[in-house]
Amino acid sequence: MKNLLILICSLLIFSCQPKHQEVEIIAAEDPLPSWNDTPNKKSIIEFVTAVTTEGDAKFVPVAERIATFDNDGTLWCEQPLYFEFLFSIDAVRYAGKENHALITSPEMKALVAGDMKTFMQRGEKGLMEALMISHTAMSVDEFNTLTKSWLDTAVHKRFGKKYGELTYQPMVELLQYLRDKQFKTYIVSGGTTAFMRNFAEGTYGIPPEQTVGTMFAAEFVDKDGSYQVNLKPQLFHFDDKEGKPVAIYQFIGRKPILAFGNSDGDLQMLQWTSTNSLPNLELILHHTDSVREYAYDRESHIGKLDKALDEGRQKGWVIVDMEKDFKTVFSFQ
């Protein structure tokens, strides 16, 4: 995470490269029209067909058709910095105007003053502090209002689009395809549950009760008969690496038969899924497309894919190649 300062700076000066080529997707027989007809697409369709066809040796009952997806870098873009961190940076600046009780460190005060250089001196710890400040010490309703307002207005520097538009069209199709085949689709992501619930239903069709992520503690407050749930500046669950299979146990209680990630943070979720006694499929999205999106893996500060790439190749997991497998990346391209 040593080069995050460079990332933040590049983010701030990133040239605006909107692309307006519209692609109209019409699904006919093909459940995945935004995927090229590659062996990987074939593997996905063959697996889904087998586990949902009664009489097939690989048939899996409906109740066990659990699919878990990472969000950042798997369902939507995560470069040049996790979008939730961008939200937090904006939110702390906004909150700081009202003398927020949690804004006490020099780095947070610098952030409020627009001094990004000082802010970034704390690296990832500063980002985590901004995350906590922007997500807690308020009611859930207040947080949701804040998030929705940001999602409605903030724009990605390179693509000139709102963040909710930076979802991968082939992945949205895959989620729908799985649901059509009576899978329950879940998000299991390092991003916070609180943040993701503000767009996951609209953009992916994944309801709040199937959106699992990092969580801050919450408390129920009774103010003379007016009740609210407040978010507290205290971590409840950190949903990355080993935290993912733990969350799958605590929040879902069934082992998935399909898991899809894109980074080393997803490795344990993929490992856990691969031990299901039922037929199962593990997939990794490899970011190989610097033209339509970004190309990064082993050396990336965001979404580092190194160990999981080796283990996935060794174990025969499906390594989706964005450049080769995605006919369309974003719906607006």
Kindly list the residues in this chain that would bind a copy of itself in the complex (CB under 8 A).
Answer: 63, 66, 140, 184, 193, 197, 201, 207-209, 211, 215, 218-220, 222, 226-227, 229, 236, 242-246, 249-254, 268, 271-272, 275
Only one residue has tokens 């899996």, namely 60
How far apart are CB 107 and a copy of itself at their closest, in Å?
29
Write the DSSP assignment of 41-94 as a string of letters.
Answer: HHHHHHHHHHHTSTTSTT---GGG-EEEE--BTTTB---SS-HHHHHHHHHHHH
Nearest partner of 265 among 280, 281, 250, 245, judged by Cα: 245
How far apart are CB 187 and a copy of itself at their closest, in Å?
11
- Residue with smaller CB distance to a copy of itself, 89 or 151: 151
Buried-exposed string 219-251: b where 16+ CB fall within 10 A, e elsewhere: eeeeeeeeeeebbeeeeebebbbebbbbbbeeb
Alpha-carbon separation of residue 204 from 54, 266, 282, 328 (angstroms): 28, 19, 20, 16
- Residue with smaller CB distance to a copy of itself, 54 or 227: 227
- Residue with smaller CB distance to a copy of itself, 110 or 146: 146
- Amino acid at the residue 299: E
- Residue with smaller CB distance to a copy of itself, 79 or 268: 268
Strand partners, 260: 69, 283
- Residue with smaller CB distance to a copy of itself, 134 or 268: 268
Do the Cβ atoms of 190 and 213 come closer than 8 Å?
A: yes
* DSSP code for 98: T
How far apart are CB 241 and a copy of itself at their closest, in Å?
8
- Residue with smaller CB distance to a copy of itself, 241 or 327: 241
